[in-house]
Structure 1
Amino acid sequence: MSNFQIFDRHSWGAIREARGITYAQLGELCGVHLKSVSKWFYGERTPSLHHTILLAKALGIPLNQVLKSVTDSDIRSAIRSIL
């Protein structure tokens, strides 16, 4: 499986701020502590695929938009199994 990243902390952070969603709220929606969320948005850690999908849903980012750049069939299968 190839290395890939669909979480974009800069653009997703701008969306988070524009929507007035706090790290604590995202943490609650994703089932993690707010410190985990802050580390994702500060670039100290990368959210798992599962948490990336939960973040997209919480921020109102359409999953088809998020996932359209994923071309690896194994990764697409993994994503489908999570959804």
Structure 2
Amino acid sequence: MTDLNIWDRHSWDVVRRSRGITYGDIADVVGVTYKAVSKWFYGERTPSLRSQILMAKALGIPLSKALESITDEDTRALIRYALEND
């Protein structure tokens, strides 16, 4: 499950900028450092699935929209479980 990715740094950066959300704001919500968020947006690292989900919430990106590309039902069930037990 670690290689699941709903993260699209370019699209999400457009959302982040348009809403005036800073890396620090995202770091606070996700529970990571500013530097970690910076590395995600600069493409140096990929956030964990948990971080991707929390970041989507912080940016106001509906999870249904972020999860559109994941069609495998087992994977979707695992994500639902993770969301319900966070």
Structure 1 length-normalised TM: 0.91
The number of residues matched between the two structures is: 82
Tell whether 2:43 aligns with 1:43: yes
Structure 1 unaligned runs (5+)? none
- Give the alignment's Cα RMSD to 1 decimal: 1.3
Unpaired runs of 5+ in structure 2? none
Shift of 1:4: 4.1
Q: Deviations over 1:1-51 (max 9, x none)?
A: 6x5421000010011011111101100010000100001000001011111
Matched, 1:20 2:36: no
Percent of aligned positions with the same letter in both sequences?
59
Dislocated runs of 4+, deviation >3 Å: none
Q: TM-score, normalised by structure 2?
A: 0.88
> 1:79 aligns to what?
79
CA distance in 1, matches of 2:39, 2:74: 27
Deviates more, 1:28-37 or 1:63-72: 63-72
Q: Which residue of 1 is the match for residue 10 of structure 2?
A: 10
How far apart are the structure 2 equivalents of 1:73 and 1:47?
A: 22
